[in-house]
Amino acid sequence: MSVSAQVEVPQSLVSSYSRSFGEVGTAWIAGLPALVAAMLDRWELNWDGEAAAGEASLVLPVLGQDGARAVLKLQLTREETSAALIGLRAWNGQGMVRLLDHDPESSTMLLERLDGARTLASVEDDDVAIRILAELHARLVSVPAPQGLRSLGDISTAMLAEAPRAVTALADPVDQQVLRGWASVVTELIDEPGDRLLHWDLHYDNILAGERESWLAIDPEPPVGDPGFDLWPALDSRWDDVVAVREARRVVLRRFDLLTEVLGLDRARATGWTLGRLLQNSLWDIEDGATALAPSSIAVAEALLIRD
């Protein structure tokens, strides 16, 4: 049986591509087995385990001819993919999974293999986990931002243009007022959007155990901006666990305090940009048909704005 015939694309990825990319996504999924075969042949790799999938990529463990362990990451070419490549080159393995090679035509990446079964979420003590994330985050934002990435200024301008329409889609006047408030905060910050290289999605499940370092980040979609805009994924990590023990406010504040301390951020400014991130998330939710703000977003905002 050919290698391509053995590739079974996870249904979660099939559904994600159909939902997010329509006919283009469906066509890409259909060609994925052949693309896997071509990439294995290109780099003279052997398949070395079960394929895994995220929302936008197929990840295949492989072995090189010298026995070196790596992974193939295959995804549709889009703006986020190009940004990831720019960021991976800039970080060059500093706190980040190392890019070994890539195919420009298909955007396929050959990456250092980490332990996909052991994410930072496996660390039970949340104080330990958030400190690991914060220290790793500080290393990532210390790398000078390269050219060619989206700026937080441009992202914010687009959000503010979209916000008035989004407000009208919310059913509850209280939610409408909250969204207006978040937009107002972004308006005050937009003239100083920052210039750091951000990960954009640094949560517990995007930090994996490694060999050359204990923990390394994966799956960046980097823009350039203020690190305060990058805090929400950490604040939201393991949200179900936080809510289940009814300590959401305390945990959010503890995480926020540690993150801002380790990253050396102004707390008021970091609060503002976190509200900006909640605005971005909400605009996407509304675009997908939501008519109410996410309860977790409200909880994060209230924790940061209403302190003892």
Counting beta carbons within 10 angstroms of the beta carbon of residue 14, is it exposed (0 to 12), middle (13 to 18) or buried (19 or more)?
A: middle
The set of catalytic residues is 201
- 50-to-59, 85, 139, 293 alpha-carbon distances in Å: 9, 24, 32, 38
> For residues 301 and 286, what is the distance between their CA atoms, to the nearest angstrom?
18
Q: How far is CA 199 from the centre of its chain?
A: 7
Structure tokens at 170: 């919310």
Kindly report the CA angle at 96 between 94 and 97, in degrees rounded to 5?
120
Task: Specify whether the CB–CB gap between 38 and 73 falls below 8 A.
Answer: no
Query: How many CB atoms within 10 Å of residue 21?
Result: 16
Give the CA distances from residue 270 to residues 170, 257, 279, in Å, rounded to whole numbers and listed in that order: 26, 10, 14
The DSSP annotation for 144-196 comes to BPPSSS-BHHHHHHHHHHHHHHHHHH-SSHHHHHHHHHHHHHHHHHTT----E
